[in-house]
Structure 1
Amino acid sequence: MNMSTETLRALYGTWRIARGDAKGLTFFNYSISGFWRSFFAAVIVFPAFAFLRWHDLLDAPENFPVGRYMTVEIVAFVIKWLAFPVLIHQVLPLLGRAERYIGFITVYNWSSVLQMAVYLFALALGTLFPMLGPGGFVMIAVIAMLVYGVYIARLTLSVPIPTASAIVLADFLLSMVITSIGIRLAMGQLF
């Protein structure tokens, strides 16, 4: 299967899963090569990520270190994509689910494309309809994507909802820590 076909199938699978259809899991390539190709989702998500970081700079002060900020953000983006798979690789054997690692990460990686699309849509809605406040739609989208992540973890790892929730919460917190460190580095305030 070529990369474009695999990408389209995986994205369709993420859509089916988001609609509550567990048969969406049949659209993914669970081989070792499929696992590594699932990181191509980062390439798909990156332009939206870069746009959002650039958009953050619109309100930055004149002397803001734009180059350093963008460099640190790009490095943090890469670290986020690698840190969670490394962490979960250590956790799944403790849960007796080591054999499900490749399937979980494959689906979880591809799901990030849909998650970014939902996030961008929420930002657009927040701009068009500001009645929920500046982050109202985004907060709703973040909660929905956390629930979606829990559903993916439950399906792919065959674990109870509290365990799936803890896994997704670990990813969320890890991402927040990396983001926080990145911002402090960009501002030269880490130490």
Structure 2
Amino acid sequence: MLDRDEIRRSLTGAWDLFLDRPEAMRAFDVSVEGFWRSFRVIVLLLPAYFLTTMAEQIMLSETAVETAGPGGVALFLDSVVGLGLDWIALPVVLALAARPLGIQRNYAAFIVARNWGAVIALTPFGVIGLLVILGLLNAEIANFLMLASLMVVLRYNFLIARRALDVGIGFAIGIVILDLAVSLTIALALDSVFGL
């Protein structure tokens, strides 16, 4: 499991990346062990992800959009499977493409930073989800806030790619677009499978 010191240090590094501080990457353990341990961060994402999924169910019912099949169960399964696949898809794609792209030297550092950065990136969605669950936000406002949060997260992903991979602006934008494309492909495929 992840120890408290590593969580504190790595989340501080992830926040420093969000603030675009040049020394941010020093906070991460980019060793082979640190690389593999960073995938355990998914456990820290689960509360926010759960809140977001529950809020999505509420928002769907508010807007009179029905899910096919078993309803909430289908949405929950779609979300859980989607999180798992999305968590590993980009690392696998980039592992296969690292040498041709010339990023093999910084590949591990990027994945470690991306994994820890996911905690910062998902937090606003969890907060919005909680506000929807508590009835403090309706679907329209929540969707607007989620879209605004997505814009901030895309910028954050750009900063992670730029700092961790030590690449130019165009290359970092390409990585963000690839990440988004992979996530959307997974989401659309799973929506089709679960009939959503």
Q: Same fold (TM over 0.5)?
A: yes
Contact 2:67 2:74 in 1 (8 A): no
SS at 1:29 equivalent: coil
1:94 to 97, 100, 104: 100
Alignment match, 2:14 = 14
Alignment match, 1:75 = 81
Given residue 168 of structure 1, which amino acid in structure 2 is its aligned partner? Answer: V
Shift of residue 184, structure 1, vs aligned partner = 1.8
Deviation digits for residues 144-163 of structure 1 (CA, Å, limit 9, x no counterpart):
11111111111111111111
CA RMSD of aligned residues (A): 2.5
Shift of residue 120, structure 1, vs aligned partner = 3.0
Q: How many residues align?
A: 186
Contact 2:45 2:118 in 1 (8 A): yes
Q: Tell me the TM-score normalised to structure 2 length.
A: 0.84
CA distance in 1, matches of 2:168, 2:136: 39
Compare 109-118 and 45-54 and name the one that shifted more.
45-54
RCO higher in structure (CA 8 A, sep ≥6): 2
SS at 2:167 equivalent: coil
Identity of aligned residues (%): 25
Shift of residue 3, structure 1, vs aligned partner = 2.1
Unmatched 5+ stretches in structure 1? none
CA distance in 1, matches of 2:98, 2:174: 12
Q: Cα 1:21–1:122, aligned 2, differ >3 Å: closer, same or farther?
A: farther
Q: Tell me the TM-score normalised to structure 1 length.
A: 0.86
Q: Cα 1:88–1:62, aligned 2, differ >3 Å: closer, same or farther?
A: closer
Unmatched 5+ stretches in structure 2? none
Alignment match, 1:147 = 155
**Which structure 1 residue ranges, 4+ long, deviate > 6 Å from structure 2?**
124-127
